[in-house]
């Protein structure tokens, strides 16, 4: 009997699609992924509606939305619930070897047979961190081992290069920057340095005296370009092993990233477009068409059901996500389109909202540490950068969107038999007390002071995975 196809899933952390040349960015950040995309399918409007890391990956690896996973918080308490099955669990049941690289200790990584770690956070003696090379050093030998087994394999790779700290090694730290990052006349980082919750952490990995936000943005872009070059090493290994024709390869991300925007400072909180927009590129020679671009909206929960369809693996799971093969073949048969969806975050703020092609509604469930208004409304067509809050000017639009959001919440609560997790995660911030009463209380309570603290927020006891 012919062996089932392999799967390599690049689940890249904090990669926003609008900073990829594959998606039209004017800096050539992803030349190797660009070439890869020409051999497969690129989804132009792919979103991760529930940010950040833990709910994003939970949805990616279960095919469920946040009501289905019951996960909305970065600091999710307890394990992933037994009411869901993960992609590695289903593939293991179907005879696959499964390996996870770089995601040990998070509840959303449940079900892999083997976990491998690498250094994807802190700087080395050069004050830089070759994150993707560190990943390659463990992932490529594992890829070769898996390819030599009689069983098909699922290899999950969590790259960390676009996640702060942005520390691409030379020459990538300056391929998109030729200024003076310590210009005393530049004040573009002044507000960041005054923002106590983040200032110590971010300045700890910037050059001493750095004043230019464009330099920091260029580190993010340089980290993507560096990672892209290292990902080509993996593509080359797949070709050298002779398994390209029998391997489904997916490039995607758990959520986007904020640069010096919306006063959210080099992180991934705030329900603005920069945190919701992620790539999805799939290549499977002979099974998926080459060079196709899909403009219809797709969501992170669609990945698992699509993978199982492509592998011809049946399951009894009633996914919240849909099989994207329908979109790929929509010229043969009309399919329903996703036009609006629920959005959530419990990172450094607890907010939810509703996104349509024209409007973005963001509602605070408790005061946030940026002292932002309780309700925000943006016209995504006229104001794509979401700079002008129209909530006071357009109360009828606000009420209409709140009505749609609440109707959806009631529907999903009835279908799952559980309360919206956005309402029950009142200790999302990791403190003993409940919701913040004021923005000042949130500002005074939340603090990330170092790289090691940032890393610990995403990991639990690795022995318990």
The 3-state secondary structure of the chain reads CCCCCEEEEEEECCCCHHHCHHHCCCCCCCHHHHHHHHCCEEEEEEECCEECHHHHHHHHCCCCCHHHHCCCECCCCCCCCCCCCCHHHHHHHCCCEEEEECCCCCHHHCCCCEEECCCCCCCCCCCCCCHHHHHHHHHHHHHHHHHCCCCCEEEEECCCCCCCCCCCCCCHHHCCCCCCCCCCCCCCCHHHHHCHHHHHHHHHCCCCCCCCHHHHHHHHHHHHHHHHHHHHHHHHHHHHCCCHHHEEEEEEECCCCECCCCCCCCECCCCCHHHHECCEEEECCCCCCCCEEEEEEEEHHHHHHHHHHHCCCCCCCCCCCCCCHHHHCCCCCCCCCCCCEEEEEECCCEEEEEECCCEEEEEECCCCCCCCCCEEEEECCCCCCCCCCCCCCCHHHHHHHHHHHHHHHHHHHHHHCCCCHHHHCCCCCCCCCCCCCCHHHHHHHCCCCCHHHHHHHCCCCHHHC
Q: Would you say 121 and 455 are in contact if contact means Cβ atoms under 8 Å apart?
A: yes
pLDDT at 178: 97
Query: Domain segments of the chain: what residues?
Result: 6-338, 341-451
pLDDT at 450: 67
Nearest to 231 by CA among 266, 189, 281, 182: 281
Cα-based distances in Å from 169 to 126, 138, 335, 413: 8, 19, 45, 47
Residue spans of the chain under pLDDT 70: 1-2, 330-334, 449-451, 454, 457-465
At 95-122, the pLDDT tens digits run 999 999 999 999 999 999 999 999 998 8
| Residue 159 CA from chain centroid, whole number | 11
Task: Name the CATH architecture for the domain at 341-451.
Answer: 2-Layer Sandwich (3.30)
pTM reported for the whole predicted model = 0.95
Task: Name the CATH architecture for the domain at 6-338.
Answer: 3-Layer(aba) Sandwich (3.40)
Give the C-alpha separation, 60 to 319, whole Å. Answer: 12
pLDDT at 431: 80
At 366-412, the pLDDT tens digits run 999 999 999 999 999 999 999 999 999 999 999 999 999 999 999 99
**Number of neighbours of residue 293 by Cβ within 10 angstroms:** 12
pLDDT at 457: 66
pLDDT at 462: 46
Residue carrying the six token digits 């990330």: 448
pLDDT at 333: 62
């Amino acid at each position: 009997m012919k062996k089932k196809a392999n799967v390599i899933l690049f689940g890249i952390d904090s990669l926003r699609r609008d900073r990829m040349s594959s998606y039209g960015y004017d800096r050539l950040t992803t030349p190797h992924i660009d070439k890869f995309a020409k051999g497969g399918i690129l989804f132009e409007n792919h979103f991760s509606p529930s940010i950040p890391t833990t709910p994003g990956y939970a949805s990616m690896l279960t095919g469920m939305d946040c009501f289905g996973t019951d996960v909305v918080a970065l600091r999710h308490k307890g394990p992933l619930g037994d009411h869901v099955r993960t992609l590695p669990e289903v593939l293991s049941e179907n005879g696959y070897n499964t390996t996870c690289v770089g995601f040990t200790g998070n509840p959303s990584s449940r079900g892999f047979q083997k976990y491998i770690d690498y250094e994807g956070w802190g700087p080395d003696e050069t004050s830089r961190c070759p994150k993707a090379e560190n990943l390659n050093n463990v992932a490529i030998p594992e890829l070769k081992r898996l390819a030599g087994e009689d069983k098909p394999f699922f290899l999950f790779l969590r790259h960390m290069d676009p996640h702060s700290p942005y520390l691409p090694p030379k020459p990538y730290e300056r391929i998109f920057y030729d200024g003076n990052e310590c210009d005393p006349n530049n004040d573009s980082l002044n507000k960041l340095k005054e923002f106590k919750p983040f200032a110590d952490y971010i300045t700890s990995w910037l050059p001493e005296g750095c004043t230019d936000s464009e330099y920091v943005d260029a580190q993010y872009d340089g980290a993507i370009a560096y990672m892209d070059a290292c990902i080509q090493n993996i593509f080359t290994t797949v070709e050298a092993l002779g398994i390209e024709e029998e391997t489904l390869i997916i490039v995607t991300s758990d959520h986007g990233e904020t640069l010096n925007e919306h006063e959210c400072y080099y992180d991934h909180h705030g329900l603005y477009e920069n945190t919701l927009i992620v790539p999805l590129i799939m290549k499977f020679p002979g099974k998926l068409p080459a060079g196709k671009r899909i403009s219809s909206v797709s969501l992170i929960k669609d990945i698992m059901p699509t993978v199982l369809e492509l592998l011809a693996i049946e399951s009894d799971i009633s996914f919240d996500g849909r099989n994207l093969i329908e979109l790929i073949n929509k010229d043969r048969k009309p399919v329903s389109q996703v036009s609006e969806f629920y959005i959530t975050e419990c990172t450094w703020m607890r907010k939810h909202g509703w996104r349509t092609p024209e409007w973005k509604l963001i509602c605070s469930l408790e005061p946030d540490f940026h002292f932002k208004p309780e309700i925000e409304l943006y016209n995504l067509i006229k104001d794509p950068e979401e700079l002008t809050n129209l909530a006071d000017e357009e109360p009828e639009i606000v009420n209409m969107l709140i009505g749609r959001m609440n109707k959806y919440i009631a529907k999903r609560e009835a279908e799952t038999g559980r309360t919206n997790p956005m309402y029950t995660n009142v200790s999302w911030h990791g403190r003993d007390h409940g919701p913040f009463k004021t923005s000042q209380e949130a500002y005074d309570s939340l603090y990330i002071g170092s790289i090691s603290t940032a890393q610990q927020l995403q990991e639990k006891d690795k022995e318990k995975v």
